Structure 1
Amino acid sequence: MARDEFFGNDDQRAVLRRGRGMAELLGNDPRFSYYGRTVGLVGPDDGNIDQLAALASVQGNSNYSAVPLSQTATVISDLEAHGLVPMHYAKWEGTNSTLAAARKVIETVALPEDLTLVRMDASTPDQQLASLAEMALDCGVLPLCGEVLRGLHRPAVCLFAIDRNSNIVSCAASSVFARDEHSTYGKQAWWGMLATDPARRGQRLALILGAHTLLEMEARFGLRDFMTGVEPGNAPSEAVCARMGLSPGGFAIIGCADPRALATGRMTK
């Protein structure tokens, strides 16, 4: 039986729950993507704008994982014509350079001595997951559904740092988003959910946990290709991605929200 572990406000939890249900219906079709929030289409070649709009209308949110930059303006305009609120993210990607950068971070940047690194799994107490979610949400970051964070649904890793008072102060996660059968992105993983308690910022915790997460995905699942979405102009996120050997290429990630389901028009920051 699926765990009912969804976080955020009422709208966000409802959207995450619908996304998880949609993943059960469509999860075996390589045209669709899912990494723990909502089901999307991998790219425009996998489904047209009407299909993407239908996914957003049913779930409250959806996305294309890879839109050629030459098509970005048209996709955004078409989504607006469907009454949806589009979000444009630069798609940052990296392979061997990213893993090499992650190893260098681990070799040169130490986790503070009062913190312990923990990987979430099926045995992680429910309250600990709830504490992680609360910390992430306070940072404006919406956690993936609990089954994905625990590694129970897809190849995925979630790491968090906990202090001596059992406070979770930072987290990072990674998950596959496409099916193995997808010809282009079947071996690429999403990486993100970087969040750090404001009281611990400046200690490069997101960088450290992000690096460990990448290396765990390689060690556990053999994954060596990673991507994330960064809103253009988000300098702190761009700096972390660049330090991790990721770089923007010829694609964008285009999300879209149904304002009737998500009044803010955003799933997460």
Structure 2
Amino acid sequence: MSKDEFFGNDDQRAVLKRGRALAELLGNDPRYSYYGRTVGLVTPDDGDIDQLAALAKVQGNSNYAAVPLADTDAVKTALQNRGLIPMHYAKWEGAASVLSAAQTVLNAFPLPDDLSILKIDASTTEPLMASLAELALSCGVLPPSGEVLRGSLRPAICLLALDREQNVVSCAASCAFAHKDHPTLAHQAWWGMLATDPAHRGRHLSLTLGAHVVLEMHEEFGFSDFMTGVEPGNAPSEAVCTRMGLAAGDYAIIGCADPEALSGGRMTK
């Protein structure tokens, strides 16, 4: 398995590589988050706007994982004033409700008989990883680094749904994003990377795989609190989150991109 396993277009791969290198330097500091894309600050209490801007300039992208809603406009304006492109995601999160909802989903929507589930690990072949990336990217979702998806860098689960020809038709993942010693969010895991081949949509595959991921993260690593970012107004994603027991709360995820590194201004969907 190569450590140099990054996906996306040239700009995205370059940003992911810089993120991984910075994680190597800052990974032992509880202020910083990393789940296979770029290093961020967990909350504004962990670093001010100039520190967030510096992380974005070094990597090409960064984020705050939890900004109080009342502060989001000020944060976005401050980032724009520093030449960065802000991106606002509603932070959907939940704890016991998510575990309960995941089991309810699996009872209602078991995986169809013509599909099988594969867990990504260190032995997963590079061609299969490339197929995973192709599917996710075709749905506008940038996969985290291969080390994270394989679970070799930090607690993480990535599951694929395969058809009988072993084609990847759906995927989902979860990963620890805050440092294990962070004072408020060490117990919370990122959940997402939901993508399904258009030919298989309508079969609840994102729900089913997402539910399996939640329960495996809980069983294997003890996580019982999950979060994800949803662009406001994305009704399909909001519906999936609601079904999974997540709810939009009092915080937002604020990302920011350096337009010189990411001309589109965003890392992923």
**What TM-score results when the alignment is normalised by the length of structure 1?**
0.99
SS in 2 for 1:267: coil
Aligned to 2:217: 217
- Residue identity opposite 1:108 in structure 2: A
2:41 corresponds in structure 1 to: 41
Once the two structures are superposed, what CA deviation does each residue of 1:31-65 show, in whole Å capped at 9, x if it has no partner? 00001100000010000000000000000000000
The 1:183–1:2 alpha-carbon spacing in structure 2 relative to 1, beyond 3 Å, is farther
Q: What amino acid sits opposite 1:160 in the alignment? A: L
Superposed displacement of residue 180, structure 1:
1.1
Aligned to 2:191: 191
In the alignment, the residues of structure 1 paired with residue 223 and residue 110 of structure 2 have an alpha-carbon distance, to the nearest angstrom, of 24
What one-letter code is carried by the residue in structure 2 that aligns with 1:210? Answer: G
Partner Cα separation in structure 2 for residue 202 and residue 20 of structure 1: 35
Once the two structures are TM-superposed, the CA of residue 12 in structure 1 deviates from its matched residue by 0.2
In structure 2, give the amino acid aligned to 1:73: D
Query: What secondary structure sits across from 2:89 in the alignment?
Result: strand
Secondary structure at 1:111 match in 2:
coil
Q: What residue in structure 2 maps to residue 23 of structure 1?
A: 23
Match for 1:4: what amino acid?
D
Instruction: After TM superposition, give the deviation of residue 3 of structure 1 in Å.
Output: 1.1
Superposed structure 1 runs of 4+ greater than 4 Å apart: none
Residue 243 (str. 1) matches residue 233 (str. 2): no
**Taking structure 2 as the reference length, what is the TM-score of the superposition?**
0.99
Q: Shift of the alpha carbon at 1:112?
A: 1.1
Report the secondary structure of 2:51's partner residue: helix
Instruction: Please give the alpha-carbon distance, in whole angstroms, between the structure 1 residues aligned to 2:111 and 2:221.
Output: 24
Which whole-Å CA distance do the structure 2 matches of 1:31 and 1:135 have between them?
Answer: 33
Tell me the residue number matched to 1:58.
58
Query: For 1:171 and 1:249, how far apart are their aligned partners in 2?
Result: 26
State the shift of 1:166 in Å: 1.2
Task: Supply the distance in 2 between the matched residues of 1:10 and 1:17 (Cα, whole angstroms).
Answer: 11
SS at match of 1:152: coil
CA RMSD of aligned residues (A): 0.8
1:98-137 matches, within 5 Å, as: 98-137=98-137
Quick one: percent identity of the two aligned structures? 69
Aligned-partner Cα distance in 1 for 2:208–2:57: 38
- Cα distance in structure 2, aligned partners of 1:225 and 1:8: 29
Alignment of 1:65-214 (within 5 A): 65-214=65-214
> Residue type matched to 1:225 in 2?
D
Query: Matched residue of 1:214: which SS?
Result: helix
Kindly tell me the number of residue pairs found equivalent between the two proteins: 269
**1:232 counterpart residue number:** 232
Task: Please report how far the alpha carbon of residue 2 of structure 1 lies from its aligned counterpart in structure 2 after TM superposition.
Answer: 6.1
Rounded to whole Å, the distance in 1 between the matches of 2:213 and 2:120 is 11
CA distance in 1, matches of 2:256, 2:198: 29
**C-alpha displacement of 1:92:** 0.4
Separation of aligned partners in 1, 2:86 and 2:176? 23
* Distance in 2 separating the partners of 1:155 and 1:191: 12
Give the AA of the match of 2:217. M
Deviations 1:175-197 (A, max 9, x none): 01111111100010000000000
Task: List alignment gaps of at least 5 residues for structure 2.
Answer: none
For residues 2 and 261 of structure 1, the distance between their equivalents in structure 2, rounded to whole angstroms, comes to 24
Are 1:255 and 2:261 counterparts?
A: no
- Determine helix, strand or coil for the equivalent of 2:15: helix
- Give the Cα separation in 1 of the matches to 2:109 and 2:177: 29
Q: Helix, strand or coil: the match of 2:86? A: strand
How far has the Cα of 1:209 moved from its partner? 0.3
